[in-house]
Structure 1
Amino acid sequence: MELMEGVAVRRADRTDPAILSLTTAQQAELAAIYGDDQPLVTLHPDIEFILLTLDETPVGCVGLQPISPGLGEIKRMYVEPSSRGWGLSRRLLAEIESHARTRGLTTLRLETGTQQHEAIALYTHNGYHPIPPYPPFENEPASLCFAKTLD
């Protein structure tokens, strides 16, 4: 993967102000696309985030939530709109997969929406395959779920 100048990643707590700002923006963007009737998904206290900065400005994040032994879930993957199109989402995805491996996870799953075409392309291009919806998304027509077995 080509490294972009000025890009840095670091682990961050879910209460980090940069993470809170980015995840709030992500939720607002989703509400604008799908409306306010989305399922409220709370984050597990053990979630770990990776923060991506560009020239020291926070522009993206992704969370890794433990589910069960060997299984983790990607949560709140987000790159702010003016920083899209430069491969930063691929960088975040590679970072969270690497972190998941160090945690002993063998499978990652995620949920995205039917209108998030760029996200769907990112995940499928990187080896994620469709799976049946899991709770709380099993009755959400706008939800698509994916999983990947890590090497």
Structure 2
Amino acid sequence: MIKIVRTNSENLDFVSLVQSLNDYLKIMDGDEHAFYNQYNNIDVLKHVVVAYDNEIPLACGAIKAFNASSTEVKRMFTKPEFRGKGVASMVLQELEKWSKELMFKSCVLETGKRQKEAVSFYKKMNFKVIPNYGQYENIENSLCFKKELI
């Protein structure tokens, strides 16, 4: 049975999952990896979720304040062998719930256009494409999303 745990960026399972994510993104992003990586420092993340199955970490995600009304979803990752089983949906739903508990009205996020599985996943989870924001504004590979929390 999948267990979702709320924690912070000091959680060693989260740190390990993020390292796997970074290894994956280094291949996907190629020469652009250094640009993206500078915005993914995990020590600023205080609201982290890790999904477990029998104490085995499967997936993770985090939120941080983006502005007064939105959180930004960061460091979403599911180990490849556990994809397609609904684990990422559980992680994202927990992050949305936590955002609402913290009185935020929406979630935003950025992903790469090359990560076609991620793009499809966020659309399936009712995130809508928005104009690229902040540091992603003129980045061709970036795709930004937003979801209003009800």
Change (3 A) 1:32 1:7: same
Q: Find runs of 4+ consecutive structure 1 residues off by over 3 angstroms.
A: none
Residues 12-91 of structure 1 mapped to structure 2, 5 A cutoff:
12-38=7-33, 39=35, 40-41=38-39, 42-43=41-42, 45-91=44-90
Residue number in structure 2 paired with 1:3 = none
Question: Using the alignment, how far apart are the partners of 1:85 and 1:106 within structure 2?
Answer: 28
| Unmatched tracts of structure 2, length 5 or more | none
Are the aligned partners of 1:112 and 1:144 in contact in 2 as well (CA < 8 Å)?
yes
Secondary structure, counterpart of 1:96 in structure 2: helix
* C-alpha separation in 1, matches of 2:42 and 2:137: 18
Give the superposition deviation at 1:106: 0.2
1:141 matched residue in structure 2: 140
Aligned length: 146
| Identical residues among aligned pairs (%) | 27
Is residue 102 from structure 1 mapped to residue 101 from structure 2 by the alignment?
Answer: yes
What value does the CA root-mean-square deviation take over the aligned residues? 1.3
Query: Aligned letter for 1:86?
Result: K
* Residue deviations 1:96-120 (CA, integer Å, cap 9, x gap): 1111110101010000111111211
Structure in which a larger fraction of residues adopt helix:
2
Q: TM-score, normalised by structure 1?
A: 0.91
The two structures have a TM-score, normalised by structure 2, of: 0.91
